[in-house]
Amino acid sequence: MEITMYNVSSNPHDRDSMTTQRIMQLVAIALLPTTLFGIWNFGLKALLIVVLTTGSAVLCEWLYNFFMKKPQTAWDFSAFVTGLLIALNMPVSIPWWMPVLGSIFAILVVKQLYGGLGQNFMNPALAARCFLIISFAGKMTTFTANKAFKGVVDTVSGATPLAALKANGYTDKSVSVLHMFLGDIQGTIGETSALAIILGAALLFFFKIITWRIPTAYIGSFTIFILIYMSASGMGFSAGYLFSQLFGGGLMLGAFFMATDYVTSPITPMGQIVFGICLGVLTAIFRLFGGSAEGVSYAIIICNLLVPVIERFTVPRAFGKGGRKKA
């Protein structure tokens, strides 16, 4: 009689060669197009900010693990990606110490004090950006125009095209959609070029780092809200206004690189769709009716806090549970 022996271990039983380090490396590579474009668009000061944020984030994580005698995670690229995202969310005109402070806040307060990678309840990079905006609003909302941008928008001094759009509406003097798509405009280092962001997102889809659910639900619900707003406000349909809202600000960067963060987004398929819809609606409300022209950062942070509730109501029913019993 032949006896077959099986090895039984604790879950998960499905093994994958894709490690945390590999995922973070691919995310960093996917961010290269928008990073390189930001450096080209804004100059060496943008490169300095990238070096400062990534370096301080990795160093802060290393020091925390060293002094707390925890396993060293500074080399898994998660801190590097956090620092890089912080840099891409910074205006190039800020003093050098502010992005460093943002990186320390993200790694120490938002990530490590809550248990490290996988335990943080909100996106560390966006938490750092919101912290800096609240603390240093003037510095964080002052944008420098590059040579290609000067003269394209002159309606609002020192404002991004999205701010000009909110203040003046879509007019003949608004920045062309092509400029906003290519990215030679004002804004933070990494949010100006929708083209560069989409190229990086394509890499994430190719390696199956992210799925279509959150970005599609986010951008789709945002688009529908803008269309309803244009109709209800009597504006009528304006392709220029719609695409300016889509390509302007941090919508694309947030939808593909920050809303899809594994730790702070739902794991259930339906929950991801609900999460994306909430993001789109909140972003549109903040942009159209709020005091600021932007709303992506706060929308993602708020929806991060809603993830436990979303998952509670979207967990698939276990096989055989809830069925009707036979008499």
Which of these, 35, 65, 22, 79, lies nearest to 197 by C-alpha position?
A: 35
Predicted pLDDT of residue 322? 59
- In this prediction, residue 3 carries a pLDDT of 66
The pLDDT score that the predictor gives to residue 98 is 96
CA pseudo-torsion sign 30, 33, 36, 39: negative
Model confidence over 150-190: pLDDT tens digits? 444 443 345 678 887 877 777 666 678 888 899 888 889 99
The candidate with the shortest Cα–Cα distance to 146, out of 34, 41, 250, is 41
Average of per-residue pLDDT values in the chain: 87
- State the DSSP code for 76: S
220: buried, middle or exposed (CB in 10 Å: 19+, 13-18, 0-12)?
middle
**How many angstroms separate the CA atoms of 263 and 238, rounded?**
37
The full DSSP string for 265-303 is S-SSHHHHHHHHHHHHHHHHHHHHHSSSS--HHHHHHHH
CA angle (251 as vertex; 187, 35 as ends), nearest 5: 55
Alpha-carbon distances of 185 from 46, 98, 153, 156, rounded to whole Å = 14, 23, 9, 13
**Cβ neighbours of residue 260 closer than 8 Å, sequence gap 6 or more:** 204, 210, 214, 215
The residues, ordered by sequence, that sit 6+ positions from 201 with a Cβ below 8 Å of its Cβ are 30, 210, 215, 252, 256, 257
| CA geometry: angle 261, 27, 69, nearest 5 deg | 75
C-alpha distances (whole Å) from 17 to each of 20, 23, 26, 139, 221 are 10, 10, 14, 43, 34
Instruction: Report residues of the chain scoring pLDDT below 50.
Output: 150-157
> What is the reported pLDDT for 49?
97
pLDDT of residue 133: 93
Give Cα 241 to chain centroid, integer Å: 22
Length of the chain, in residues: 327
